[in-house]
Amino acid sequence: MYLNLVQIAESFGVSEKVIEDWIRAEGLPHIAERGRLIFDRAQVVNWAAGRGLASQAGFLAPASSAFATGGLLEPLLRAGGIWRDLSPADLPATLDSIVAALPGTTPSVRQLVAQRLRATGGVTIAPIGGGFALPHPSARIALGRDAGTVALLLLREGLVLPEPPPDGVPVNRLFFFIAPSPRAHLDVLGRLSRSLSRGLLREAVVRGAGDDEIFRAVASTDATSAPVPPSREPAP
């Protein structure tokens, strides 16, 4: 199986120029064909594994392993943590701390993600009503099946947004997330949106519940939204 330059760059969450630099400086296996670069998947996987980059495989990973937690939010929230009593001015440093603890990644990848978040327009904030919003990286990131995080950020005051939230309620409860892959991004966004529209998680956060209760509420949400495995008929 062969991948092109864009697919390889997206797999590692880096720019195409970085891939070209890796070819020159790190010996990334490639084939120059008719003025374009193509990459043998197996060769790239072996090259990446030798440099601690195997977990950054998006297009390189098996299709069935795009989400290591099986779509569960609780492990991601435990990785990102619950941050309380923040001011809006604290958000950049807080996001840096969350990225610094991003599991399943190398220091160079964490540095790259932090740089993307700090860039102008690097974070998209999506208000969903009731004072909640779902900030996430604006750029597509493919970290791999062992990565990803969710963090709950509770602000002392409302966040000033370019446009006011549709319902007029100041945004001060943020579920920031970085998904393992673009495909998993949609899954996490959908699960969080549904969980915060009603139910135990929303109620616990609004009430100011403790960390343990919020983790239990997320686990309950996981239990009710996880796919049910197909039943098997007993052998005759």
| Residue 173 pLDDT exceeds 50 | yes
Tens-place pLDDT, residues 128-159 = 889 999 999 988 777 877 789 999 999 999 99
pLDDT of 219 > 50? The answer is yes
Q: Which of 79, 92, 60 is nearest to 188 (CA)?
A: 79
Predicted local distance difference test score (pLDDT) of residue 191:
86
How far, in Å, CA of 104 to CA of 97, rounded?
A: 15
- What pLDDT sits at residue 56? 45
Which pLDDT score is estimated for 78?
A: 94
Residue 175 above 50 pLDDT? yes
Q: Per-residue confidence at 233, pLDDT binned at 50, 70, 90?
A: very low
pLDDT digits 0-9 by tens, 85-122: 999 999 999 999 999 999 988 888 899 899 999 999 89
pLDDT at 75 (0 to 100): 92
- pLDDT by residue (tens digit) across 30-82? 998 778 898 888 888 888 877 766 444 455 654 443 344 457 899 999 999 99
Measured in degrees and rounded to the nearest 5, phi and psi for residue 170 equal -60, 140
Per-residue exposure over 45-59, b if at least 16 CB sit within 10 Å of its own CB, e if not? bebbeeeebbbbbbb
Show the domains of the chain with their CATH numbers.
2-60 (1.10.10.10), 74-225 (3.40.930.10)
- Segments of the chain assigned E as strands: 2-4, 31-33, 36-40, 82-86, 123-124, 127-129, 132-133, 136-137, 149-159, 171-178
